[in-house]
Amino acid sequence: MESLILIEGELRSLIRNTLERLIGKRFKKKRKKNIEICIKVSIRVVSSLIAIQIFNNVKNIPNFRKYSSLILIVLFVYFFIDEMKNSSESN
């Protein structure tokens, strides 16, 4: 059962990527490539800093990694089964 628990680095990465996508959706596409690159880099840095703070606050909660891992596994299985049903219905 221990092998099904997110390691600390993966949990931080998950939080960062989630924040990165949520924040990134708030910005409209710019015309200049240089501006786009600067925006993406700044979003990544800010997301990383926020993720570190969130992780530092939740890592002391007992069994947080265990329960969050199990919830995400259940969500994956649910969406996978739902996707399989939808693809078999469309064929």
- Residue 79, pLDDT score: 95
Residue 51, domain extent: 2-90
What is the dihedral sign for C-alpha 22, 43, 12, 62? negative
Which is more confidently placed, 67 or 91? 67
Cβ(69)–Cβ(4) below 8 Å = yes
pLDDT digits (tens, 9 = 90+) for 21-39: 999 888 887 778 888 899 9
Count how many residues are written for the chain: 91
Rounded to two decimals, the pTM is 0.69
Domain count of the fold of the chain = 1
Which residue, among 24, 10, 9, 22, has the nearest Cα to 72 in the 3D structure? 10
CA gap 18, 78 in Å, rounded: 20
Task: Please state the rounded mean pLDDT for residues 37-43.
Answer: 92
- What is the model's pLDDT at position 3? 66
Predicted confidence at residue 2, as pLDDT, reads 62
Reported as a single tens digit per residue, the pLDDT across 53-64 is: 998 888 888 888
